[in-house]
Amino acid sequence: MDKRIFTGNFTQQEPIPEAAIDAAIAVMRSGRLHRYNTAPGEDGEVAALEQEFAAFTGAKYCLAVASGGYAMGSALRALGVGPGDRVLTNGFTLAPVPGAIAAVNAEPVFVEVTESLTIDLDDLAAKIAATGSKTLLLSHMRGHLCDMDRLMEICDAGGVAVIEDCAHTMGGAWNGVPSGRHGIVGCYSTQTYKHLNSGEGGLLVSDDAELMAKAVMLSGSYMLFGRHTASPPLETFEKVKYVTPNVSGRLDNLRAAILRPQLADLPAQIARWNALYRTVEEGLRNTPGLQVIERPPQEDIVGSSIQLRLPRATAEEVTGVVKGCAARGVELKWFGAAEPVGFTSRYDSWRYAPAQSLPKTDHILAGLLDMRLPLTFSTDDAALIAEIIRDEVLALNAA
């Protein structure tokens, strides 16, 4: 019997919505792409996006910037993190997270990961005590939210400020609180493979007036901060405007115009992602040798990717499953390879950070596979993908 093949494309995004295309064309026809180049009486697309995203998250303030990585760097600088400071972060994350720490000449301190792919809260508490670090750059890696209530108890008790990297959790929540709203600041990405697509882009949200005033100045506002409509009161800027450097990273009106209609559509898009996720999850559950990542009931997920583990497989066996799936059109990424491939680098690949030992994380990543779920797929596609992965894992078990 011939094996079934999947013919979809794992990197093909949906087209930009027609409303967003129309809005982008209007900006181009105006010639006013720079966020501060607005007509009299006009706020502009960036300012409107900031107001709408602040409302979406329930935050007082919002700033749109050039990328998610820039958002994290701005948050660190606004908190005063600098050379020699030790910043805690997940051992399982992507390179822009420790990169943001290194970019301010601080030192990443990696925390172990659990089988749920979230930060290990016991190891976090131990490393807060051992290092004296006062900052956690928390990565909600691949959309997995830890017990945010317990995390904040630990960090508040240790005097640790929490920056949330929400690149994979825009629209997600823990116990009804939106991702990005537990810590002092939330950082989001609108890079093509995230939940809103402007090619590149980022957003920060916070209720802390002084932090956000610093972030606005850092972003390159010059003395035009009064044109921000989702930012702190003008008197807040008096404290920071002459002592905060310009590290220009503004979002422009063209990308904001593309993003605003997508933000309005995001709840419907999340429902579509979650339908794909649950279809794959159910198709893979109870497969011998394979472990799905069970999601807690307190977590509202955005299933734009799915992860699975082969906890007892050797490196050769994991590679065999990846190759077998690839031959049938299914692209799985492996986070346990000795050398990074594409975006799958891991903590021991980032040699600008001091060498660290994370045996628990090593064990989990050794069998960890990752797969995007673009909205160009249907639930029938998702069912076929699950069937192919299941076949290849069962073939491994039979070998």
pLDDT tens track for 270-318 = 999 999 999 999 999 999 999 999 999 999 999 999 999 999 999 999 9
- Residue 196, both tokens: 């809103």
Please report the pLDDT score of residue 341 as a whole number.
86
- pLDDT above 90 covers a percentage of the chain that reads 95
Amino acid in position 336: G
Task: Choose among 202, 256, 266, 215: nearest CA to 43.
Answer: 256
pLDDT value at 59 more than 90: yes
Please give the mean pLDDT across all residues of the chain: 97
- Report the alpha-carbon distance of residue 325 to residue 346 in Å, rounded: 23
Please report the pLDDT score of residue 339 as a whole number.
86
Element (DSSP H or E) covering residue 70: helix 68-78
Binned at pLDDT 50, 70 and 90, residue 20 comes out as very high
Average pLDDT over residues 165-190: 98
- Report the alpha-carbon distance of residue 329 to residue 398 in Å, rounded: 22
Please report the pLDDT score of residue 345 as a whole number.
85
- Report the alpha-carbon distance of residue 383 to residue 4 in Å, rounded: 12
Question: For residue 363, what are the CA distances in angstroms to 147, 173, 310, 366, 383?
Answer: 22, 28, 11, 5, 29
DSSP result, 204-263: EEES-HHHHHHHHHHTT-TT-GGG-SSS--HHHHTTTTTTS-----B--HHHHHHHHHHH
Give pTM, 2 decimals.
0.97
Amino acid in position 125: A
Please report the pLDDT score of residue 276 as a whole number.
98
Task: Choose among 375, 253, 258, 378: nearest CA to 18.
Answer: 258
Please check whether residue 67 is in contact with residue 199, taking contact to mean a CB–CB distance below 8 angstroms.
no
Give the three-state DSSP class for 304.
coil
- Report the alpha-carbon distance of residue 393 to residue 399 in Å, rounded: 10
pLDDT value at 2 more than 80: no
Please report the pLDDT score of residue 344 as a whole number.
85
pLDDT value at 373 more than 70: yes
Please report the pLDDT score of residue 340 as a whole number.
86
Sequence-ordered list of residues with C-beta below 8 angstroms from that of 324, at least 6 positions apart, any chain: 392, 395, 396
Please check whether residue 76 is in contact with residue 106, taking contact to mean a CB–CB distance below 8 angstroms.
yes
Q: Which domains does the chain have, with CATH numbers?
A: 18-261 (3.40.640.10), 266-398 (3.90.1150.10)
Exposed, middle or buried by CB within 10 Å (0-12, 13-18, 19+), for 108? buried
Please report the pLDDT score of residue 1 as a whole number.
60
- pLDDT above 70 covers a percentage of the chain that reads 100
pLDDT tens track for 342-366 = 888 889 999 999 999 999 999 999 9
Average pLDDT over residues 231-243: 97
Exposed, middle or buried by CB within 10 Å (0-12, 13-18, 19+), for 267? exposed
- Residue 319, both tokens: 């590679």
- Report the alpha-carbon distance of residue 322 to residue 292 in Å, rounded: 16
Give the three-state DSSP class for 81.
coil
Task: Choose among 129, 259, 118, 393: nearest CA to 109.
Answer: 129
**Maximum C-alpha span of the chain:** 74
Please report the pLDDT score of residue 84 as a whole number.
94
Please report the pLDDT score of residue 280 as a whole number.
98
- Report the alpha-carbon distance of residue 346 to residue 93 in Å, rounded: 7
Q: In what order do the strands lie in the sheet with 173-174?
A: 177-178, 173-174, 299-300
The DSSP symbol for 119 reads B
